[in-house]
Amino acid sequence: MKSSNESVKIDGIDKEILRFLMEDARKPVLEIARNIGISGAAIHQRLRKLEASGLISGSKFIINPKVLGYTTMAYIGIYLDKAMSNPLAVRELSKIPEVLECHYTTGNWSILIKVLCRDNEHLMQVLNKQIQHIEGISRTETFISLDQQIDRQITI
């Protein structure tokens, strides 16, 4: 594994390790080692190098929001009155727990956010009482996701 400027070069063993962990981050290192045919210590060493390179940025548990009653996913394009409003708007958006992602974009909107709400009424309250009250936001355009068709990471 060699680092060249911004990209990291990984070999076949690194790729196998990553594929196992991307499938299940809790898979035991010794099980991965047995499947690949190298020692557990070698797996640990390679994982430390992959983490140090920045390729692995962490692991996490994934919560099923529907079990908690959150069923409405929406994407909201945000128009700002001027580009200088972006840092303030992002700071205020980060205070809204329903906002899961925030992207500075090209095109018609200045910002695109992903929000998760319990239902359409909850979404309307978040929009009307929180998002649209943020200084610098001139208007919004909302798209409700009916169903997520693809959910994956980049192929290794």
What's the average model confidence in pLDDT over 34-59?
Answer: 94
pLDDT digits over 61-113, tens only? Answer: 889 999 999 999 999 999 999 888 899 999 999 999 999 999 999 999 999 99
Residues in the chain: 156
Q: What is the pLDDT of residues 133-153, one digit of tens each?
A: 999 999 999 999 999 999 999
Place of tokens 């080692």: 33
| Contact status, residue 44 vs residue 29, Cβ threshold 8 Å | yes
Q: Report DSSP letters for 9-34, one per residue.
A: E--HHHHHHHHHHHH-TTS-HHHHHH
Q: What pLDDT is attached to residue 123?
A: 98
Domains and CATH numbers, the chain: 9-53 (1.10.10.10), 65-145 (3.30.70.920)
Helix (H, G, I), strand (E, B) or coil at 62: coil
What is the rounded CA–CA span in Å between residue 106 and residue 115? 19
Mean pLDDT of 29-41: 96
State the pTM of this model.
Answer: 0.84
Spell out the residues 6+ positions from residue 146 whose beta carbon is closer than 8 angstroms to its own. none
Residue 6 is predicted with a pLDDT of 67
Angle at 45 between CA 34 and CA 19, to 5 degrees: 55
For residue range 57-72, list pLDDT tens digits in order: 988 888 999 999 999 9
Question: C-alpha distances in angstroms, 38 versus 34, 70, 90?
Answer: 7, 43, 46
Residue 34: count other Cβ atoms within 10 Å of its Cβ: 12
Average pLDDT of every residue of the chain = 93
